[in-house]
């Protein structure tokens, strides 16, 4: 999906497929992040927050003296409020708080616990203090507010005192002037003989003195009653619950972060994942028809053993998938039916041997005489699937020149005659490429209707390349979510290099529950094992019977499924159906 597929564009369904395919990555990331958030929250020391509220007044000394609001305050209130906010956290004020409360912190440390903010569209200032002790938090908030008010009052009183001293000096100067004028009045014989200019000077001086005396009294009263421009309106109360850690909030943030990381990891892993996953991947990458999609056998997976699903779990979707594969192979060639198949895979542990055994059993259940040749002479496991011993086998036939018939053993449950690998030889490729191997293959072809050969993986050894040109067709097994795209391409190129007839691909471990695939529905009797069990195939073309076991039969289907839907157009035209 994310590896440069021509001009294809990603749609919503493609993204949803990635999320579904990588759901465990998302779930794991979510659980880890949420768990970490909860654990960290539980390990944190509780932090309490206390708040106190102050009112910032717009009027100061000038407004009191002159009866007006100063222009700089009325025109720029935000600037004035911000100035007050910054003043609260001045080191001298914080130092006084530390000293009064005997705190074991520096002004810088206390500053990190204090936050100051203004309420929007108001002149209210809120001082918040965080501390591990709720009572300490409330005390710091109240003392800090009180000290700020006092510091602001002292700052404003400095201006008042300076103004009062200046008025007092003016009064003294005016008093001297009055004394001088009074002496001049005495020299002219008193107020009755006072000239007009002297009378005017006396009146102005006395009026000025009276005004200065009034202002002096105002400043004295203002100095005693000034609140410094701020007043405490809501003292701090001791908080009941901590504000940190906030477990619900942290958990919610953990969910958001976990999902984000999980989805991110899902798409990163998808981009880095070079494995084949679906039939569409095979079609696009290899250009070969997918002859069968084999789901994982859950019974075998639970037991940890390979087994013949066609025999032991014949009504399962896995068994039905092998019967559909058998039918697809039946319709591959109309003129000359194929009878000799080689099953291989690009690498190990991709399900080729299990498919080899079950495909052989599927042919046998259709009444065919089947021989299964186990030619994987390096890691043989076929005898573990079939109920036959691995004493003498293909190696003995090739080395000791004994007849193939001598090593064939009947697997009674499936009806397949099996030639196991036998002893592991030192040079498997030379044996499989020998003339004797050609003779063995022809012996098997003459003695059976269908011969299915299990061979080693293509990549890494040359055994399969020795066998591939000797058979009617090669079935390349690709494991979903395991076989890499590069490995599949290399295997196909190697097979084409020896002129092997690669019939198509078998996708093992396929997800038959995804949209666009076939579903399997098994109808059974509620009271007893049915004599006839019909397995229905549901797809885009409707539902139809594709297989059943007749009474006393061996698993032969009543009607072969129309497999041409998965074949190339040329094969459809040549098919007898």
Number of H helices, E strands in the chain: 22, 15
Calculate the alpha carbon distances from 208 to 25, 167, 201, 408, 498 in Å.
Answer: 89, 11, 11, 137, 124
Which helix (H) or strand (E) covers residue 505, if one does? strand 502-508
Calculate the alpha carbon distances from 341 to 218, 390, 432, 488, 506 in Å.
Answer: 116, 22, 15, 19, 13
Model confidence at 511, pLDDT cuts 50, 70, 90, reads confident
- Please report the pLDDT score of residue 355 as a whole number: 94
* Token code pair at residue 475: 């079935």
- Condensed to tens digits (0 to 9), the pLDDT of residues 178-210 reads 888 888 887 777 777 778 888 888 888 889 889
- Please report the pLDDT score of residue 58 as a whole number: 63
Q: What share of the chain is helix, strand, coil (3-state, %, to 5)?
A: 50, 15, 35
Confidence check: pLDDT of 346 > 80 = yes
Residue 383 CA to residue 398 CA, distance in Å, equals 18
- What one-character DSSP code corresponds to residue 484? B
Query: Rg of the Cα trace of the chain?
Result: 49
Name all domains of the chain by residue range, CATH numbers in brackets. Answer: 12-44+245-272 (no CATH), 48-234 (3.30.1890), 279-510 (3.40.50.300)
- Condensed to tens digits (0 to 9), the pLDDT of residues 251-303 reads 999 999 999 999 998 888 888 888 888 888 899 899 999 999 998 876 555 55
Confidence check: pLDDT of 70 > 70 = no
Which helix (H) or strand (E) covers residue 547, if one does? strand 542-548
- What one-character DSSP code corresponds to residue 414? T
- In this prediction, residues 317-333 reach a mean pLDDT of 89
Alpha helices for 401-509 (secondary structure H): 428-432, 435-447, 463-467, 485-497
- Please report the pLDDT score of residue 303 as a whole number: 54
- Please report the pLDDT score of residue 243 as a whole number: 87
- Please report the pLDDT score of residue 134 as a whole number: 92
Residue 384 CA to residue 307 CA, distance in Å, equals 8
Confidence check: pLDDT of 76 > 50 = yes
- Condensed to tens digits (0 to 9), the pLDDT of residues 415-432 reads 999 999 989 898 899 999
- Please report the pLDDT score of residue 514 as a whole number: 56
Please report how the helices 279-286 and 485-497 are oriented relative to each other, as an axis angle in degrees rounded to 10. Answer: 50
Of 204-208, 323-327, 352-356, 558-562, least confident by mean pLDDT is 558-562
Residue 130 CA to residue 92 CA, distance in Å, equals 20
- Please report the pLDDT score of residue 93 as a whole number: 87
- In this prediction, residues 527-536 reach a mean pLDDT of 35
Residue 474 CA to residue 463 CA, distance in Å, equals 14
- Condensed to tens digits (0 to 9), the pLDDT of residues 1-51 reads 544 444 445 678 778 888 887 889 999 999 999 999 999 988 888 999 999
CB 210 within 8 A of CB 29: no
- Condensed to tens digits (0 to 9), the pLDDT of residues 230-254 reads 788 889 999 998 888 888 999 999 9
- Mean per-residue pLDDT of the chain: 80
Could you tell me what percent of the chain has a pLDDT over 70? 80
- Condensed to tens digits (0 to 9), the pLDDT of residues 127-171 reads 999 998 999 999 999 999 888 888 887 777 777 788 888 888 888
- Please report the pLDDT score of residue 78 as a whole number: 61
Residue 294 CA to residue 356 CA, distance in Å, equals 12
Greater confidence, 57 or 432? 432
- Please report the pLDDT score of residue 81 as a whole number: 65
Residue 558 CA to residue 549 CA, distance in Å, equals 7
CB 107 within 8 A of CB 98: yes
Model confidence at 507, pLDDT cuts 50, 70, 90, reads very high
CB 156 within 8 A of CB 229: yes
Q: Is the dihedral of CA 565, 569, 571, 577 positive or negative?
A: positive
- Please report the pLDDT score of residue 163 as a whole number: 84
Residue 577 CA to residue 564 CA, distance in Å, equals 8
- Please report the pLDDT score of residue 218 as a whole number: 82
Model confidence at 383, pLDDT cuts 50, 70, 90, reads confident
SS (H, E, C) 370-411: EEEEECCCCCCCHHHHCCCCCCCCHHHHHHHCCCHHHCCEEE
**Residue 461: CB atoms within 10 Å:** 17
* Token code pair at residue 250: 């942290």
* Token code pair at residue 153: 């009052």
- In this prediction, residues 76-96 reach a mean pLDDT of 75
Residue 269 CA to residue 22 CA, distance in Å, equals 8
């Amino acid at each position: 999906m994310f590896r440069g597929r021509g001009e294809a564009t990603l749609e919503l369904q493609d993204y949803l497929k990635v999320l579904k395919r990588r759901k465990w990555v998302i779930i794991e990331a979510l659980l880890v992040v949420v768990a970490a958030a909860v654990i960290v929250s539980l390990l944190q020391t509780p932090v309490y927050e206390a708040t106190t509220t102050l009112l910032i007044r717009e009027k100061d000394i000038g407004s009191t003296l002159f009866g007006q609001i100063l222009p700089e305050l009325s025109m720029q209130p935000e600037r004035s409020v911000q100035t007050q906010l910054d003043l609260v956290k001045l080191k001298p004020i914080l130092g006084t708080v530390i000293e009064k409360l005997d705190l074991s912190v520096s002004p810088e440390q206390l500053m990190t616990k204090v936050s100051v903010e203004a309420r929007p569209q108001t002149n209210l200032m809120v001082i918040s203090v965080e501390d591990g002790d709720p009572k300490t938090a409330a005390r710091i908030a109240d003392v800090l507010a009180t000290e700020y008010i006092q510091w602001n009052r002292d700052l404003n009183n400095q201006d008042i005192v300076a103004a009062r001293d200046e008025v007092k000096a003016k009064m003294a100067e005016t008093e001297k002037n009055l004394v001088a004028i009074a002496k001049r009045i005495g020299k002219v014989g008193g107020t009755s003989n006072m000239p007009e200019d002297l009378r005017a000077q006396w009146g102005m001086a006395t009026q000025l003195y009276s005004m200065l005396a009034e202002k002096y009294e105002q400043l004295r009263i203002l100095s005693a009653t000034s609140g410094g421009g701020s007043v405490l309106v809501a003292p701090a109360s001791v908080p009941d619950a901590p504000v940190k850690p906030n477990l619900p909030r942290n958990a919610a943030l953990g969910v958001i972060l976990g999902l984000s990381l999980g989805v991110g990891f899902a798409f990163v892993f998808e981009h880095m994942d070079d494995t084949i996953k679906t039939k569409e991947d095979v079609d696009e990458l290899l250009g070969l028809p997918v002859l069968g999609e084999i789901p994982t056998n859950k019974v075998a997976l639970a037991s940890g053993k390979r087994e013949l699903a066609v025999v032991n779990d014949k009504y399962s979707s896995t068994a039905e998938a092998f019967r559909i594969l058998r039918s697809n192979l039946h319709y591959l060639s109309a003129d000359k039916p194929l009878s000799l198949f080689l099953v291989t895979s690009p690498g190990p542990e991709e399900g080729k041997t299990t498919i080899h055994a079950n495909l052989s059993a599927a042919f046998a259940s259709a009444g065919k005489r089947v021989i299964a040749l186990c030619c994987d002479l390096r890691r043989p496991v076929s005898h573990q699937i079939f109920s036959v011993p691995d004493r003498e086998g293909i190696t003995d036939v090739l080395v000791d020149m004994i007849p193939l018939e001598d090593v064939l053993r009947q697997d009674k449950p499936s009806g397949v005659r099996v030639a196991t690998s036998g002893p592991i030889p030192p040079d498997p490729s030379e044996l499989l490429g020998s003339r004797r191997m050609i003779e063995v293959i022809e012996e098997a072809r003459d003695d059976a209707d269908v011969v299915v050969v299990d061979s080693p993986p293509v990549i890494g050894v040359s055994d399969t390349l020795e066998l591939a040109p000797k058979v009617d067709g090669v079935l390349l097994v690709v494991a979903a979510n395991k076989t890499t795209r590069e490995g599949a391409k290399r295997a196909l190129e190697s097979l084409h290099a020896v002129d092997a007839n690669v019939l198509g691909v078998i996708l093992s471990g396929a997800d038959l529950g995804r949209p666009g695939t076939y579903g399997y529905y098994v109808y059974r009797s509620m009271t007893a094992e049915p004599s006839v069990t019909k397995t229905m195939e549901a797809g885009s073309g409707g539902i139809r019977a594709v297989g059943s076991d007749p009474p006393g039969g061996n698993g032969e289907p009543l009607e072969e499924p129309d497999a041409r839907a998965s074949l190339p157009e040329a094969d459809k035209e040549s098919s007898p159906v």
